[in-house]
Amino acid sequence: MAADVDLKYDLIGGSVKRLLKLHDVVEQMQRTVGALRDRQTSAVWPNVEGLSAFATRYRVAINVAEDDLASLRQELAEASQALAASLRAFEQRDAAEADRMRTLLAALDSAGTITPAPSAPSVGRTATTTRGSY
């Protein structure tokens, strides 16, 4: 039933703001991981047996984390943009429907009294069925 549909624009707007805040948090994390990656030079890790293998795995893990954060940041940006666009579309549609209803109400008010059209008489129909032998 259409009357049961209710959009909470402030709730949707709050969700957009939360997505944008998460985007900012992830962006800061990405900068932190990028700075950590930049500090991983040969001067940081001495050439000791076993340690160089760890340093390589550590660098790979940092790169993976940075890539994951970049993907997450992109997804958050896309989600917030899509949600904001949906919110704008719903608001525009609601405004258009409100205008349409005001126009209809004005037309009804200016028309005066409206009498309903007489209804057509009901025509009874009987259904016949035939049974065949099986």
Q: Which domain holds residue 57?
A: 7-110
**Long-range contacts, 6-13 (Cβ 8 Å, 24+):** 7/90, 7/94, 9/87, 9/90, 9/91, 12/83, 12/86, 12/87, 12/90, 13/87
The mean pLDDT of 72-97, rounded to a whole number, is 93
Say whether pLDDT at 134 is over 60. Answer: no
Whether 98 maps to a domain, the answer reads yes
In this predicted structure, what is the pLDDT of residue 6? 65
Whether 19 maps to a domain, the answer reads yes
Whether 122 maps to a domain, the answer reads no
Whether 50 maps to a domain, the answer reads yes
The mean pLDDT of 62-77, rounded to a whole number, is 96
pLDDT 10s digits, 5-51: 567 888 888 999 999 999 999 999 999 999 999 998 878 888 888 88
The mean pLDDT of 112-126, rounded to a whole number, is 64
Whether 80 maps to a domain, the answer reads yes
User: What's the chain's average pLDDT?
Assistant: 84
Whether 134 maps to a domain, the answer reads no
